[in-house]
Amino acid sequence: MTSVATSIKLITREEAELKRNNAGSFAPQTCSTDLNLGPWEFDALADKLGMPTYGPGASMADVAPKETPRQGQLPQEYKDATDEELDQRILKAKEVLGDSVVVLGHFYQRDEVVKYADFVGDSFQLANAALTKPDAKAIVFCGVHFMAETADILSTPEQAVILPNLAAGCSMADMADIDSVEAAWAELEKVFGTEPDADGKVPVIPVTYMNSSAALKGFCGEHGGIVCTSSNAETVLTWAFERAQRVLFFPDQHLGRNTAKAMGVPLEQMPMWNPRKPLGGNTEGELQDSRVILWHGFCSVHKRFNVSQIEKARAEFPGVRVIVHPECPMEVVDAADEYGSTDYIRKAIAAATEPTTFAIGTEINLVNRLANEFPQHTIFCLDPVICPCSTMYRIHPGYLAWVLEGLVESEVRNQISVDPHVSATAKIALERMLAAKP
């Protein structure tokens, strides 16, 4: 069984330093000793306790929502199989299935899984990749739950979307649930009413980050709202401000704040909404004066980045280019040279013509893959601690082999099916996003 310490090729700040100076040594650290366990150890625990659990790593402390799907136990033969046996079984199954299956891998997925993917990309690109394969009967999504839901919404009814491990959720997506958002909406309607102003703008429009449940996308579809990704958030907010006086943005406060700030919205006009407090913890006056109401969600991986890591990188590597993801806190984005989505980061590195040192603030699997792909550059993660997205980590080749071999036997395992009504309304919000052009 492969632990994360060996599965992730350890290219950290210290290793980059070694590469540059050929001096010093480091002991790689992980954010949790549990990362040495196989994902099925957690699934077995969940099964035994009758409770949902999240994977090892940064999200361990997060509260799992009551509706979290439970994976149940992976058959023993897959747990016992060596890496080589799993490799053979996956390749064989893929060969037998041919074009009837398409395997998608998110940028943050571990290399041992990504190597079987027919497409690798960000969540938006992968949703579109599913559309380009209408003849594939099954879409095996090696990402997290909200991505598989989006693929199900956008794919044809004949296609089955499969998530190899049902416990591969997203802790940030779970920070906004439909009940809390509906309750917040009812409170906001009491404060603002529902009538448009003299310019025809409604009081508030809901905007959800792609990293959210299908139910929230459906809520946006039903309430004149829209979906955004980290690569089109500014375009989407512009679309929303053309139609509304303000925006309710969920679940990621950081993407909302960083994007709106770059568009010139003052911080005083971005109150935070805490669903456990009346009016989200705000006064009516603060809400009336707001432009963007930020849900209190965040990503456990990206909140680990801080300004001192950037200062250290600059001190050690004069001329370093610091690029971070917009899910990082505002101070980090402000201190970086650039910020952008996973695809932006990849393109920025690919476009650099001179050997460059890059310090990157995003998930470690992507950073290490970029470091391997572009050896002419020195690329390292700003966080010296190995902390992968713990829910992506739940997808292991053992689960991939299990779902693919199921398909060979005409058995669809772990299908993600969005309720048809939710799917129809969520599709409206997704299509508004696809139609919104800069």
Feature table: binding site: 106, 123, 170, 209-211, 230, 299, 325-327, 342, 389
Q: Tell me how far, at minimum, the Cβ of 148 lies from ligand 13P, in Å.
A: 13
Edge to edge, the sheet with strand 292-295 lists: 226-228, 205-209, 247-250, 292-295, 272-273
**Does residue 310 belong to the site contacting ligand 13P (CB under 6 A)?**
no
Edge to edge, the sheet with strand 119-121 lists: 119-121, 101-106, 138-142, 160-162
**Does residue 168 belong to the site contacting ligand SF4 (CB under 6 A)?**
no
Q: Which stretch binds ligand SF4 (CB under 6 A): 95-103, 286-294, 328-336, 386-394?
A: 386-394
Question: Residue 396 has which token pair?
Answer: 């292991």
Contacts (Cβ under 8 Å, ≥6 apart) of 304: 31, 58, 383, 385, 387
Binding partner of residue 122 among ligand 13P, ligand SF4, none, CB cut-off 5 to 8 Å per kind: ligand 13P
Q: Which of 120, 154, 176, 299 binds ligand 13P (CB under 6 A)?
A: 299
* Residue closest to ligand 13P, measured at CB: 122
Gap between the Cα atoms of 130 and 229, Å rounded: 17
Interacting residues with ligand 13P between 190 and 229 (CB under 6 A): 210-211, 229
- Per-residue contact track with ligand SF4, 101 to 140, x per CB under 6 A? -------x--------------------------------
Question: Residue 271 has which token pair?
Answer: 């109150």
Residue whose tokens read 């139910």: 215
Distance of CA 185 to the CA centre of its chain: 25
Q: How many residues does the chain have?
A: 438
- Per-residue contact track with ligand SF4, 221 to 260, x per CB under 6 A? ----------------------------------------
Nearer Cβ to ligand 13P, position 188 or 382? 382
Binding partner of residue 341 among ligand SF4, ligand 13P, none, CB cut-off 5 to 8 Å per kind: ligand 13P
Beta bridge partners of 378: 357
Gap between the Cα atoms of 369 and 376, Å rounded: 13
Gap between the Cα atoms of 398 and 410, Å rounded: 18
**Does residue 181 belong to the site contacting ligand SF4 (CB under 6 A)?**
no
**Does residue 74 belong to the site contacting ligand SF4 (CB under 6 A)?**
no
Interface contacts to ligand 13P, rule CB under 6 A:
122-124, 210-211, 229-230, 299, 327, 341-342
